[in-house]
Structure 1
Amino acid sequence: MNNLFGIDSGTTKVIYMSFCFLVLYSASQTFLNMEKTVISSINDDNEYFEVDGYNILALDYIIYGVSLWLGPSAINIIGLRTCMTAGALIYTLFFSSVLVEKAWVMYAFTAIGGTGASLLWAAEGKYLASNSSAEVISRNVGIFWTFYCSSSIIGNLYSFYILQGKKYLDRGSRNLITYSLTAIGGVATLFFALLPPAEKNETEDKKLQKVSPLKELKTTWKVFKTKEMIILAVTFCYTGLHQAFCSGIYSPSIGFTLQFGNRSKQLVPLSGVFLGLGQVIGSCWQIMQGKRLSKLRWGRRMVLTTGIVAQLISFALIYINIPPSAVFGNTTESAIIRSNIFIAIFCSVLLGFGDGCLNTQNYSILAILFPNEAAQSCALYSFSKSVSVAVGFFLATFFNLYYQIPFLAVMAIFALISYIYADMCTFKKCNDQNNISTP
């Protein structure tokens, strides 16, 4: 893949990997967005099926977060391509487990799915960094995130068509959606198996083979204890809480708001479509402004501030537009204002835009802070985020929207402050290194 269409080899490989994620997460994002709704409908049909969608999602992210500590060691042993291929296969098995409609099967495959996701994302961070120089890392992160976010649009559009006019989700519709998503996951696994080697791994992987898994784990712990990683942990934790809210809590809450009428269940994937659209807009904006932002010392801070402001606006609108009990299940309760579909979908766009800004800038600052520990830093970022996602889903089983939204708003402000401080430290650190290297 050398200089295809005038694009350098590293960027071409990033685009191919991004396409693989687009295919896989066209299935996965749709499944996660609808899982609470699907499980709730199974509970309605089968009184002996006692599974809570939020608990399943929380367990998935807990296993994922714990497994991430072993991600760099797995990469060292079996390689980047094998890690991503295995992760895609395991994750596909995870969301096909809904077909069985047995509680123990769902919990077992949830644990397996979390392990698969950890292999996938730890390898993704390393592959992205290995194919990107410091000058193009922000652009390549933006490219990857644009592909990844587009997956939410594609899968949810299909579900939107299947659920047209449905107030309740029947078994036939559930199975049709799940079979389709499983087939897409299988195709994605084949694409991952054809992933080309990373730019830097031909020379570096030979050296990495001499590094024991225990030493990899020690390196991960060393990165975890750095001042910058501790400061950024606040931002990473908020990113996880926000991801839980926008990907698995908010969209089902729209579907549970029966004041929207017979279209309520169809609005769940529609919310996912516009969530993905917001993420794509956020990523594309950063790609187009990439060179200009990279020249500004406050470029990353400006992007994150814009994203956080968009999220705060969405929180305020959701607070008045969606009834507080909608987070738990079907409700005829009224919101502060008469629930409006257009406001609900607009909030999905704002949430997605903010999410795109958060994730791209988190990856960008890690690539600059830890260029030689890309696998470790990305694994720790995903670990912090996944634990927070699990906490977000766990809290959703107890607290309604009127408690969740103010908590998220406060965390958003703290996340922005922490990121700005860490970015200022990064800028100072880069200046000090430049002064030392200048004769």
Structure 2
Amino acid sequence: MADWRTFNVVILGVGFLFIFTAFTTCGNVEQTVVKSLQNDTFTGSGYHSLGIIYGVFSFSNLVAPAVVAMLGPKMTMFVSGLLYSGYVAVFIEPSTWAFYLTSVLIGVGAAMLWTAQGLFLVENSEAATINRNTGMFWALLQCSMLFGNLYIYLDWNGRTEIPDSSRRKIFLSLVVASVVGTLCFLVLRRSPPQEEMLSEEEGQSLLSARMVSVDLLSIIMYKHRANMALQEVKADFKTMLQLVKTKSILLLSPCMAYSGLELSFYSGVYGTCIGATAQFGEAAKGLIGISGIVVGVGEIIGGGLFGLVCKNNRFRRTSVVFLGMVVHFVAFYLIFLNIPDDAPVVFNTVTQKSSFLTPSVSIALLCSFLLGLGDSCFNTQLYSILGCVYTEQSTPAFAIFKFIQSVFAAVAFFYSGDVMLMWQLLLMVILGFSGTLCFFVAERVYNFSAEPLE
């Protein structure tokens, strides 16, 4: 059983690696790609698309447990993977209506995917393995930052514009990667097996099965699963409403919100800022890919170090979150000095405004690493504490986490194209500090209680 659980976690991570090789690379470059489109009929905005994705994602989390209960985590992740592939495919031949329609669809798919992932990860973990499995999954997931962004660097280095042929070739490759990741979910094995309990009336129906066709038996079983799923959906939604009021969720909410703001910054805004900095010269577009790779290296090191190497002790989570806050604040300060203030909002392909320091590639990439490392600190520990506090209520707990995170990510993407870099960084500093303090309190209270906090 332990071997199957480990196998499931690895395959789950590999599937997410391929899917998010496509989606993360797409999100990192799409605003730059949109600016470079030589198409008068396309009027879409990469920031607005990502804002729609996370906005729909946030509210879809309210119904995602219902879909997971009906389809099961394995099939839910498969269907969601297909929606991700469709979004990436739009960039092969962009059109505004398809761009925004698939933005809505992938928002729905993301809610289903992450809710199912949280449930599946907890199902295949125990108290003794939850940190190891979380770190293993996170490290595999963040490898997705490497390969697609490396392709971007190799293809875009030295370019000042992105030709249509290059765009089609890149996004066709990303679609293939996304489809491969989606197919990985079909290999997953449900563990541990759960036997379905039939009512007495349904049992009598099945005992007389010799008189009934196979098709009718399938209908009976489907109705039974649907009824069981509906009951589970109602219970999960009721549980979500109850969990929102608990001390643990209330205390962790600022940290979840901060994870949404910094997610939008490192995954969509910072790469665009680097590509828009004229002082980087012809290397600017290629640096978007290198930046994405370095963010991924930070994520992988953080996931491996904090999920696999660190020992279990009562102070571990707070220490890691504090480290995440410090490295993020250092990164924000260096970005403030190194990147022109109007880089996120320029309507041209580059900004001519100067920064406090002469823009340095080394400092820019150091900041990318720190952004990834800090993000892994916050996310691995949020997953860990939720998995420990809400072991028996994992589906609604992870749905709440993703709801809060994605609401703030959506808000951030919508204002990113209009707010100067300095104010974006200041907002993240304020919320990051508040979120870290609240996480400390939540961890301290949990250490004195074996039950979910009421």
- TM-score, normalized by the shorter chain, greater than 0.5: yes
Equivalent position of 1:136 in the other structure: 129
Aligned with residue 394 of structure 1, among 400, 414, 435? 414
Would you say the 8 A contact 1:130–1:201 is kept in 2?
A: no
Structure 1 counterpart of 2:75, which letter? Answer: T
- Pick the structure with greater CA Rg: 2
1:287/1:368 Cα in 2 relative to 1: closer, same or farther (>3 Å)? closer
Question: Could you state the TM-score of these two structures normalised by the residue count of structure 2?
Answer: 0.90
Q: Where in structure 2 are the equivalents of 1:156-175 lying within 5 Å?
A: 156-175=149-168
Judge conservation of contact 1:23–1:185 (CA < 8 Å) in 2.
Answer: yes
Aligned residues: 422
Instruction: Please say if 1:243 is aligned against 2:263.
Output: yes
Equivalent residue in structure 1 for 2:351, among 328, 331, 354:
331
Cα-to-partner distance string for 1:195-243 (whole Å, 9 max, x where unaligned)? 2113254579989647243333222222222221111111000000000
Give the direction of change, closer, same or farther, for the CA distance of 1:286–1:54 in structure 2 (3 Å limit): same
2:79 counterpart (71, 81, 86) = 86
Q: 2:97 maps to what in 1?
A: 104
The partner residue of 2:4 within 5, 9, 15 is 9
Point out the more displaced range, 321-330 or 351-360. 321-330
Partner of 1:147: 140
Residues 387-396 or 195-204, more deviating: 195-204
The separation in 1 between residues aligned to 2:88 and 2:240, in whole angstroms, is 30
Q: Is the aligned partner of 1:404 residue 2:424? A: yes
Residue matched to 1:346: 366
Give the CA deviation at 1:100.
Answer: 2.8
Correspondent of 1:20 among 15, 26, 29: 15
Deviation at 1:116, TM superposition (A): 1.0
In the other structure, the counterpart of 2:192 is 199
More displaced stretch, 336-345 vs 67-76: 67-76
The 5 Å alignment of 1:314-393 reads 314-329=331-346, 330-393=350-413
Instruction: Specify the code of the residue in structure 2 equivalent to 1:40.
Output: K
Cα distance change, pair 49–426 in 1 and its aligned pair in 2 (3 A):
same
- Alignment partner of 1:75 is 2:95: no
How much does 1:9 deviate?
Answer: 2.5
Task: Give yes or no for contact 1:73–1:213 (8 Å, CA) kept in 2.
Answer: yes
- Equivalent position to 2:174, from 152, 176, 181: 181
Aligned residue number for residue 31 of structure 2 = 36
Q: Given the alignment, which residue of 416, 423, 428 partners 2:436? A: 416
Q: Using the alignment, how far apart are the partners of 2:194 and 2:333 within structure 1?
A: 47
In 2, distance between residues paired with 1:28 and 1:37? 15
Q: Secondary structure at the match of 1:265?
A: helix
Which letter maps to 1:396? Answer: S
1:167-199 CA-partner distances (Å, limit 9, x unpaired): 221211111111111111111111112221132
What secondary structure does 1:79 align onto? Answer: helix
Superposition map of 1:277-288 within 5 A: 277-288=297-308
SS at match of 2:357: coil
Show the counterpart of 2:318. 301
- Decide whether the 8 Å contact of 2:74 with 2:185 is kept in 1: yes
User: Offset of 1:31 from its aligned partner?
Assistant: 0.6
Can you list the C-alpha shifts for 1:282-310, whole angstroms capped at 9, x where unaligned? Answer: 111113433x2x12x21100011111111
Q: Distance in 2 between matches of 1:289 and 1:141?
A: 12
Q: C-alpha offsets along residues 300-328 of structure 1, whole Å, 9 cap, x if unaligned?
A: 00011111111000000000000011112
Q: Does 1:229 align with 2:249?
A: yes
Deviations 1:317-348 (A, max 9, x none): 00000001111232121111100001000100
Q: Is the 8 A contact 1:130 1:200 kept in 2?
A: no
Distance (Å, rounded) in 1 between the aligned partners of 2:58 and 2:248: 20
User: Which runs of no fewer than 5 residues in structure 2 stay unpaired?
Assistant: 198-223
Shift of 1:148: 0.5
For 2:106 and 2:334, locate their aligned partners in 1 and report how far apart those are by CA, in whole Å. 34
CA distance 1:272–1:203, change in 2 (3 Å): farther
8 Å Cα contact 2:264-2:413 kept in structure 1: yes
Deviation per CA, 1:358-411, whole angstroms, max 9, x where unpaired? 110000000111111111111110111011100111121221111111111111
CA RMSD of aligned residues (A): 1.8
The CA distance in 1 between the partners of 2:192 and 2:72, in whole Å, is: 13
Instruction: Report the CA distance shift for 1:47/1:312 in structure 2 as closer, same or farther (over 3 A).
Output: same
Letter in 1 for 2:98: V
Q: Distance in 1 between matches of 2:308 and 2:107?
A: 34
> CA distance change for structure 1 residues 125 and 224 in 2, over 3 Å: closer, same or farther?
same
Q: Determine helix, strand or coil for the equivalent of 1:115.
A: helix
How far, CA to CA, are the matches of 2:360 and 2:304 in structure 1?
28
Hey, what's the Cα distance between the residues in 2 that align with 1:398 and 1:210?
43
Q: Is the 8 A contact 1:166 1:265 kept in 2?
A: yes
Contact kept in structure 2, 1:16 and 1:195, CA below 8 Å: yes
The amino acid that maps onto 1:250 is Y
Q: Which moved more, 1:260-269 or 1:49-58?
A: 49-58
Cα drift, residue 114 of structure 1 = 0.7
Aligned residue type for 2:5: G
Secondary structure of the residue aligned to 1:373 is helix
Name the amino acid aligned to 1:211.
Q
Amino acid at match of 2:394: A
